[in-house]
Structure 1
């Protein structure tokens, strides 16, 4: 018999999370990815060289519906993690968790560090987590309710749609396939409904895949560039970050969840899916958060164990989650004043916070360099940035003729050949050597003493372009 749903407590947790995220949303500033997605949303497409179209689409929808502000672009991420809280509670219920287990799962998910980061800032992660949770919920229903095999179709539909946000959903599919082959139940592989679900997922993903094929698989090139750039560092950080993605208490409970899933032959395949996905991530040099969706599954299963444990064990679990949640809030949310941020460990642990500070100062430094150009010359001068965040910040501020060779932005060039005078930022000596003369006209200072990607950058005014942009443009392209 299906357990009662703890709808009141789960709804309260989800609503409080949504409200808190929106209230705190403007306390720092845009993250560089948000500025990039805002630009991409103005160029709708079936895909981009570094990602599928869903997150940029939702960035544009947020701006259009709620205003071109930091809060406006963050409404959908906050809503997405509120939905995530509900989905994890439903996963807990599906695994035979009662009201207490569901409430603990909802609260632990809502206060997890990565949940808070994903809900506070518009990132691909913001929508990947609920998409994975929905797919896992339907996979559980298909495995646990053999008399209702149509759930394979629901799982296939979500998996197909998830490819429009990130292709990482393939890790879940590969992990499940390996789990079914290694641990069973292998009879599921003989179900026509499973294969119908797989066909539906593939059919929904076809336009996305066609974009990749017709554009020479740009995401594979992007993945290779990321692995070459930071693969070794990410492998070193993988295990420590698995223990801290959602907080240490979540990780401890997730261990009990793994044991619980492993002991249940019906869903053992999903227990196997986590180590398989982890191994594939390590081999590819991928990011440590790629397994986040499966960690939440293990946590949900562990909450069932917590709900059935003795009173003292439940108290320790809840206390641990509360302490972990407080630490996560300080780490993930803009609670520390900007002026004090550099003196705390937060910038070193949370890249999103670190890279959300200083954009007005960056724009002011570029504008200072542009003002040094005489009006007649300024009419044709261009601005070139080395990063998509810098490009997005300048476009957001209304700076004209801004270009970049970073990822998708290279396709929006080249600058006009008349732009022989340029303001360059975040480029090296080789790029400046393309001009007859260059002089540094400003230095970026965020005013908070915070070391991030923009702090200390020189802003250069360069004249006398040696080779026309239309000829040299391929040399300006880079992936990272």
Structure 2
């Protein structure tokens, strides 16, 4: 028998997080990825070269219902983050935490760095985190009750999550490996497991078919990211795991790991985390790929943490305040724009929300009004293209193109486009400019923060020497 659910206080904590995210959702502006999702949402498909279709679909729904503004776009993300807090509390309940322990789990999740950070924006990680928590909840219920029917709920959730991001296979694989090592292996000997696998495959099938029909472009993207960042990801894996959740939550999830190990029946849940970390390190994945399972350990550590809090109330209050404040400063748009450079070295995503309207204005000023109808704007990445698609019409700018990710598939310049070309390059590329005669730099983008776009060069060239249809495949970039 598990304790009663502390519904009212847990919902208050989730509601408080939702209120904070809502209050801050209109600050700074769209994130680079959000600008991409806005365009992808206008071009709904069963897949894209770098992701499945769920996040662009959610972006489309949110903007249709609440308006195409940063605040309107982020409503569903805010609700998903509040739901994640509730699921973390439910996990604590499954591990035997009483009502105060469940509230501690909810508070720890709400003030951590990662959850509010991904909840503030529309990102695949936002919905991935909620899916991982639900999968963990169903897996824990399966182990606690020995009711194999939970495999169906787990499979359905995994299938939906696969339509958002393929990373969901990692925690499931880690759990299966952990079950084989420490048991109970009997839960694997069940037709319900096969039913769950079939259900997951059926839900994920449309995107798998799309990837097959397009020669598995997402594998190309993933391989490029791993080869480009793999060594750095391995070096920074452990430090970022601690920093991204919050250093002061380290004792909570360590206590959770120890508690699960002592309880025996959920040992596989505890072991799944180091198994997952080993897998991510081997492939050179990013640190946040394994981070969601730390929330499961936080849920398990909530009960002993509450016991500690009752003996050290003043210290606990100070730690909570410090954790909430540092998480907000480094993951939420609370600082004035002039101070954001302070946090960019730790969390570059803060800077990725600033400067897109400035970029659009700079582009508009670089193109004479007499040439706007005939100029082709070629951007180097999907953030630039997305920003110009979103803000360009207000400046009467022509459609911006990009050979980056799925933008390369959506549109390319027509072969009849023989007017001037404006290249946006983070760094000038002689190889790119060799396709266009008479290139000369017009200006350099000056952003209010030193993000990736700061210093982008605007270069004016003549039309390419070969037809756009011939040139376009050569320009394509997957990462």
- Range class of TM-score, shorter chain: over 0.9
What's the secondary structure of 2:441's corresponding residue? strand
What's the secondary structure of 1:442's corresponding residue? strand
Distance in 1 (CA, whole Å) between partners of 2:438 and 2:163 is 45
Conserved? CA contact 2:114–2:244, under 8 Å: yes
Which of 380, 386, 392 lines up with 1:392 in the alignment? Answer: 386
Partner of 1:195: 194
Counterparts of 1:153-232 in structure 2 under 5 Å? Answer: 153-232=152-231
Counterparts of 1:310-389 in structure 2 under 5 Å? Answer: 311-312=310-311, 316-317=315-316, 319-342=318-341, 344=342, 346-371=343-368, 374-375=370-371, 378-389=372-383
Distance in 1 (CA, whole Å) between partners of 2:108 and 2:308 is 17
Counterparts of 1:14-413 in structure 2 under 5 Å? Answer: 14-146=14-146, 148-309=147-308, 311-312=310-311, 316-317=315-316, 319-342=318-341, 344=342, 346-371=343-368, 374-375=370-371, 378-397=372-391, 398=393, 399-413=397-411
Moved over 6 A (4+): none
Moved more, 234-243 or 298-307: 298-307
Conserved? CA contact 1:83–1:130, under 8 Å: yes
Deviations, residues 338-370 of structure 1 (Å, cap 9, x unaligned): 12323x2x1111111111111111111111122
Shift of 1:321: 3.4
TM-score by length of 1: 0.95
What's the secondary structure of 1:18's corresponding residue? helix
What's the secondary structure of 2:446's corresponding residue? coil
Counterparts of 1:378-457 in structure 2 under 5 Å? Answer: 378-397=372-391, 398=393, 399-420=397-418, 421-426=420-425, 428-446=429-447, 448=448, 450-457=449-456
Deviations, residues 225-249 of structure 1 (Å, cap 9, x unaligned): 0011111111111010111222112
Shift of 1:251: 2.3
Conserved? CA contact 2:375–2:398, under 8 Å: no
Conserved? CA contact 1:91–1:297, under 8 Å: yes
Distance in 2 (CA, whole Å) between partners of 1:89 and 1:314 is 21
Shift of 1:317: 4.9
What's the secondary structure of 1:245's corresponding residue? helix
Moved more, 253-262 or 305-314: 305-314
Shift of 1:171: 0.5
Distance in 1 (CA, whole Å) between partners of 2:205 and 2:57 is 18
Shift of 1:308: 4.4
Shift of 1:165: 0.8
RMSD between superposed Cα atoms in Å = 1.5
Distance in 1 (CA, whole Å) between partners of 2:309 and 2:398 is 65
The runs of 5 or more residues in structure 1 that have no matched partner are: none
Change (3 A) 1:386 1:241: same
Change (3 A) 1:315 1:270: farther
Distance in 2 (CA, whole Å) between partners of 1:435 and 1:149 is 63
Moved more, 302-311 or 463-472: 302-311
Moved more, 412-421 or 35-44: 412-421
Distance in 1 (CA, whole Å) between partners of 2:353 and 2:24 is 13
Distance in 2 (CA, whole Å) between partners of 1:310 and 1:405 is 54
Shift of 1:477: 0.7
Conserved? CA contact 1:77–1:122, under 8 Å: yes
The runs of 5 or more residues in structure 2 that have no matched partner are: none
